[in-house]
């Protein structure tokens, strides 16, 4: 901003404090200064052009002062210093695939969206170290395309195509977590820009698996939704591409048999088990109704009440090792046919995974989704599912239960749908009551988490304050206050609940 811009006001005045008469001139000068700093094409101010940056991946939309797209870490640092000087609030955004509104601005119009999409030029692969240094704006798909040439992959399996920086900020897990771990488990180092002192570049990019020289500071930025700093580059551990896989869609005898089967596979397949995903019959039926290219794999038999998608993988070639995973999987399933399982389709891996990845898309065709991203000790999953189904059927008969989940890591997407054709119109108050009842059950009865994968953002902020201990909130808030004393970063607050917050409204937007 020009030096004389605040000649009649405090030089640290916030845009939120400006009068209506002054705001248009203020924004125009702000955009001009940002373009001088970053280049004309790096700043987007047209409302139509900003639309995709201010609209959530699945729901919710806000407004932004503008969208800025720095291309280097130095530009991010310069921008951060500028925003701190003029108290301009920032929302950091990667590929904008998150589901808790941590990467999209609110409706105030006071936030500047900092998109990392132009931080996407650097992918440096160290084949021997089995690591890669990568810009935060590089997408998962593009990273894996580059790694594939070297027989490597970053095996976090997701239904979306997020940026690497966003994956770190959310600590994404995905369907193959049981074998490969989440992002946190595969992060060797990172580079980030801090807001205090403004523009400080924190360089923690050592590509080391062992480093006990003090606190592991990079972990402060993992899973904190961008509230502790702007990730600009990361060093990741990568893995060898599997040389063989075996896939099956299996019908368990009953719900108790699901965990019996999991224990059998862990005993007999060991490290080869890479995925164990539950799919309810209602969820599969929705896929078949709304995705015409996908057919019932059990045809001519009906869709089962519940099934499990199993995957084994190995980096060992079957020709060199003599181990054939599909033969192994067939042998295990046959040994337990009629006892633990009642039906199975083996092979057709891509077709079976298409069913799993199409569930979320198909549910939108059924009605309004009431999504639950929860986790608990996997020994509690059967009891939770039965109790939750009983609750919904007894008190919310208008809802359809279309759940799926990661049984091997204790995760469940206990998704409900309020049908378009329901006799009772969608009611936000009813949904909030239901959501609180399910979360209370998960956290208090089964010692679980209300957010297994999606992180903490404005849409579930109220539940963070409801279920996180005072001591944990105090510590997390103290760290956030230290790193961002002016509270310029993002919309997520990790301290104790603020008086007068509008968390309930934000939570309802999630539904």
CB 158 within 8 A of CB 275: no
Average pLDDT over residues 496-507: 54
| Class in CATH terms, 15-115 | alpha beta
- 15-115 and 123-240 have identical folds: no
Whole-angstrom Cα distance, residue 148 to residue 155? 11
Radius of gyration, alpha carbons of the chain: 24
Helix (H, G, I), strand (E, B) or coil at 246: strand
Mean pLDDT calculated for residue range 193-220: 96
Q: Provide, rounded to the nearest whole percent, the portion of the chain with pLDDT above 90.
A: 85
Judge contact between 57 and 101, C-beta under 8 A: no
Please list the alpha-helical segments (H only) found in 396-469: 428-440, 461-467
- The fold of 123-240 is 3.30.465
Answer CATH for 243-364 from 3.90.79.10, 3.30.70.2190, 3.40.30.10, 3.40.720.10? 3.30.70.2190
Report which of 187, 93, 191 is spatially closest to residue 137, judged by C-alpha positions.
93
For the stretch 356-403, pLDDT in tens is 999 999 999 999 999 999 999 999 999 999 999 999 999 999 999 999
Domain residue extents for the chain? 15-115, 123-240, 243-364
CA distance 356 to 340: 22
With 60 as the cut, is the pLDDT of residue 506 above it?
A: no
Rounded average pLDDT over 255-268: 97
Per-residue pLDDT at 96: 92
pTM: 0.91
Q: How many other C-beta atoms can be found within 10 angstroms of the C-beta atom of residue 211?
A: 12
Report the b/e string of 133-158 with b at 16+ CB within 10 A: bbbbbbbbebbbebbeeeebbbbbbb
**Sequence-ordered list of residues with C-beta below 8 angstroms from that of 179, at least 6 positions apart, any chain:** 155, 271, 273, 274, 275, 313
Q: How confident is the model at residue 352 (pLDDT cuts 50, 70, 90)?
A: very high
Whole-number Å distance between alpha carbons of 157 and 154: 9
DSSP state of 450: S
CB hemisphere CA count around 217 (13 angstroms): 16
Percentage, residues of the chain above pLDDT 70: 93
Per-residue pLDDT tens for 118-162?
A: 999 999 999 999 999 999 999 999 999 999 999 999 999 888 899
Give dist(CA 145, CA 396) in Å, integer: 45
The chain-wide mean pLDDT, for the chain, equals 92
**What pLDDT shows up at residue 509?**
38
pLDDT for residue 507 = 42
Please state the separation of Cα 417 from the chain's center in Å.
Answer: 21
Please say if the pLDDT value at position 19 is more than 60.
no
Residue 342, classed as helix, strand or coil, is strand
């Amino acid at each position: 901003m020009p030096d004389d811009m605040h000649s009649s006001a405090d030089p640290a005045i916030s845009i939120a404090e400006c009068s209506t008469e002054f705001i248009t001139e203020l924004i125009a000068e702000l955009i001009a200064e940002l373009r001088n700093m970053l280049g004309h094409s790096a700043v987007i101010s047209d409302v139509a052009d900003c639309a995709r940056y201010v609209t959530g991946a699945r729901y919710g939309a806000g407004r932004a002062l503008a969208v800025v797209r720095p291309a280097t870490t130095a530009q991010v640092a310069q921008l951060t210093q500028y925003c701190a000087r003029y108290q301009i609030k920032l929302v950091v955004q990667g590929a904008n695939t998150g589901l808790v509104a941590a990467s999209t601005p609110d409706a105030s119009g006071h936030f500047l969206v900092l998109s990392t999409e132009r931080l996407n030029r650097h992918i440096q692969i160290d084949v021997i170290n089995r690591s890669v240094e990568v810009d935060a704006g590089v997408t998962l798909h593009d990273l894996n395309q580059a790694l594939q040439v070297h027989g490597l992959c970053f095996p976090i399996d997701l239904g979306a195509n997020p940026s690497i920086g966003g994956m770190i900020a959310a600590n994404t897990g995905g369907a193959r977590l049981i074998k490969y771990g989440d992002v946190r488990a595969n992060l060797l180092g990172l580079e980030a820009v801090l807001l205090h002192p403004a523009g400080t570049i924190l360089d923690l990019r050592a590509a080391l698996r062992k480093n006990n020289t003090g606190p592991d500071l990079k972990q402060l930025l993992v899973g904190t939704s961008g509230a502790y700093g702007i990730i600009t580059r990361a060093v990741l551990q990568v893995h060898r591409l599997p040389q063989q896989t075996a896939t099956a869609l299996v019908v368990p005898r009953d719900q108790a048999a699901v965990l019996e089967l999991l224990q059998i596979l862990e005993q007999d397949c060991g490290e080869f088990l890479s995925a164990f995903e539950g799919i309810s019959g209602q969820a599969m039926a929705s896929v078949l109704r709304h995705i015409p290219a996908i057919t019932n794999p059990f045809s001519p038999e009906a869709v089962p009440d519940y099934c499990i998608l199993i995957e084994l993988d190995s980096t060992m070639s079957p020709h060199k090792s003599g181990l054939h995973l599909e033969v192994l999987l067939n042998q295990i399933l046959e040994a337990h046919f009629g006892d633990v399982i009642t039906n199975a389709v083996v092979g057709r891996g891509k077709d079976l995974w298409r069913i799993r990845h199409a569930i979320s898309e198909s549910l939108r065709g059924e009605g309004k989704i009431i999504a639950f991203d929860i986790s608990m000790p996997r020994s509690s999953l059967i009891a939770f599912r039965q109790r939750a189904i009983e609750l919904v059927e007894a008190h919310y008969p208008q809802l359809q239960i279309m759940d799926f989940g990661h049984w091997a890591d204790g995760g469940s997407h206990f998704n409900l749908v309020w049908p378009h054709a329901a006799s009772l119109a969608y009611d936000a108050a009813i949904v909030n009551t239901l959501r609180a009842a399910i979360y209370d059950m998960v956290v208090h009865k089964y010692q679980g988490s209300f957010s297994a994968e999606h992180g903490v953002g404005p849409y579930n902020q109220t539940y963070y304050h409801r279920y996180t201990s005072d001591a944990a909130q105090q510590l997390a808030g103290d760290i956030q206050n230290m790193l961002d004393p002016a509270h310029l970063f993002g919309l997520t607050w990790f301290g104790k609940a603020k008086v007068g917050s509008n968390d309930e409204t934000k939570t309802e937007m999630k539904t």
